[in-house]
Structure 1
């Protein structure tokens, strides 16, 4: 009887969890974004910006936004690590693609990388949030210019939810708005890709 009661209790207390991937080229600000999300939603428990180093492999964070539990995977963006990204696609519920708005030399590479992501069969139908990071810097491209460059892959996004938003992961500008957009789309897409139970 104890095991039955325990099993029922565990089933009733399990929480829904959504997995989100933070992807982008190296030095786009992915880890800074993850740490800023943790500092906003986990009562300040995060690394300070000066302690953030390039990700080799992955970082994982757990946060709760609007009563929604998120497991956030920040995966290294170096070219030799990008082949590993696809191993996460089937399990993720959304993709956050971070663009370094100051890296004009690699903006086309960013676009081509995002095209590879959204055309993979395992990402079909999941929301894609593209963040134009480093908007606090004077040398950053305007969001409208970035949208224009990325419009060339719009046909590959299909009917899925997608958006481009300006942020500064370092200063936190736009991060809450991005998180709100993400949680709304995860809930909306629940029938297509149900959350995990933890």
Structure 2
């Protein structure tokens, strides 16, 4: 109808429809995994000096005309209980893993599986970023995948990407994977 068309035109002109066309992404992981560095590497393609995130950071990232609203959520133990307040309408969960932190990989696995059991994330795709690949003795993406038992995530599309937040290595491929998940759906 003409009235519906006029309302849609108003949404376009006011920019409100742009908000609706953004795909929501959350970046989670334990403290010091590199979440904020990755967010700003996505945005600026440079390493940015960061400090521990208290609460969250949010930025819009465009990949070939696909727009993502990316929420970087603090990973300190005291903040993890509030992660679920960010889950609503999330299409992609990015889990950043410090590939050198073998001692806390079990905690990361527990947090991931607890998160993915939440009803708001039942349709979310999962991107695991195996960060700090430039460091000596870092675990490979395959080792991290096995430790997190990603093969058991039958209800979720998932991918593991080796990366280095400081140099940006591996991050363009992860953005392409994210875009493929929302464009395909």
TM-score, with length taken from structure 1:
0.83
Q: Secondary structure at the match of 1:93?
A: strand
State the alpha-carbon separation in 2 of the partners of residues 148 and 91 from structure 1.
28
Q: How does 1:43-62 map to 2 (within 5 A)?
A: 48-49=47-48, 51-62=49-60
- For residues 11 and 121 of structure 1, do their structure 2 counterparts lie closer, same or farther at Cα, with a shift above 3 Å needed? same
Q: Secondary structure at the match of 2:31?
A: coil
- Which residue in 2 is equivalent to 1:84? 82
RMSD: 2.0
Count of aligned pairs between the two proteins = 178
User: Quick one: higher RCO (CA 8 Å, sep 6+), 1 or 2?
Assistant: 1
Quick one: which of 44, 48, 59 aligns to 1:39? 44
Quick one: which of 174, 182, 198 aligns to 2:178? 182
Quick one: which of 17, 20, 30 aligns to 2:22? 17
Confirm or deny: 8 A CA contact 2:24 2:90 kept in the other structure. Answer: yes
- Answering whether residue 151 of structure 2 is matched by residue 154 of structure 1, we say yes
- For residues 8 and 148 of structure 1, do their structure 2 counterparts lie closer, same or farther at Cα, with a shift above 3 Å needed? closer
1:59 offset after TM fit, Å?
0.4
1:73 offset after TM fit, Å?
0.1
1:145 offset after TM fit, Å?
1.4
State the alpha-carbon separation in 2 of the partners of residues 118 and 129 from structure 1.
12
- Which residue in 2 is equivalent to 1:94? 92
Confirm or deny: 8 A CA contact 2:90 2:120 kept in the other structure. Answer: no
- Which residue in 1 is equivalent to 2:101? 103
State the alpha-carbon separation in 2 of the partners of residues 60 and 10 from structure 1.
26
State the alpha-carbon separation in 2 of the partners of residues 159 and 187 from structure 1.
19
- For residues 12 and 173 of structure 1, do their structure 2 counterparts lie closer, same or farther at Cα, with a shift above 3 Å needed? same
Q: How big is each residue's C-alpha offset from its partner over 1:24-69, in whole Å with a ceiling of 9 and x where there is no partner? A: 00000000000100013xxx7xxx53x3111000001111111011
1:100 offset after TM fit, Å?
0.3
